[in-house]
Amino acid sequence: MIVERLDIPDVVIFKPKRHGDARGFFSETYSRRTMEELGFDLDFVQDNHAFSATRGTVRGLHFQTGAWAQAKLLRVVRGAVLDVAVDIRRDSPTFGRHVAVEISADAWNQILVPVGFAHGYCTLREDTEVIYKVTTYYAPKHDEGILWNDPDLGIAWPVDAASANVSDKDRVQPRLADLPPRFTLAGPIL
C-alpha cells in the first residue's frame, strides 16, 4: 500500500497494490490490519455507493456533526472525480483551506477524509461510480454542509455554477463564514 500525505497532512491518499494477469486483476482495497499498521485505527460501519450519470455532477460539501461525525475512505470504481476536503476545525492552522485531488478507477487511488472536514467531489467523466466507507451511520439530523462554490474557499472546480449538476440541498448550503463552529482539533463540538 502506497501512502501519500497531502498539503493538509491529515488528508491521506492510499494506493493499494493491484495484481494483474490475462484474466484481469485482484486488489485488496481495504484491510483493517494494514490500516492499523500504517497508524490509522478507524472503525468503518457502513459502505455507500454513489452513481452519477453526467460529468459535472457535484456532491457536497458535506459533513456530520457531534457524535455522528464521520471519517470517510473513498474510492472510484468507474470513472473519475475531483475530490475536495475542506478543513473546518476552527483551531486548526489550516482552517478554511482545502485539498483537491483526482481520484479515479484508472489511478486506483483512495482518499481518507478525517473527521473535521467538509467533503465533496465533482465527476470528471460520465457514468462515474464512487464507493466509500464511513465511521458512523448516516444521521439526517446531524447532516450539514457548506456551499460547494463558496468563493472564500477558492476551490477550482472543473465545472461552473451554471452547468454543474447539483442537488437543491447543496445549492443553498451556508458559506463557511456563516457556519457556527462544529469541530476543533480535539474533535466534534457536542
* Residues acting as catalytic residues: 62, 132
Residue 76 C-beta-side C-alpha neighbours within 13 Å: 25
- The H or E element spanning position 18 is none
Cell numbers found for residue 129: 461510480
Length of the chain: 190
For the four alpha carbons of 145, 148, 150 and 152, in that order, the dihedral sign comes to positive
Burial code (b: 16+ CB inside 10 Å, e: under 16) for 31-40 equals eeeebeeeeb
C-alpha to C-alpha distance for 48 and 64, rounded to whole angstroms: 15
Q: Are 84 and 155 in contact (CB under 8 A)?
A: yes
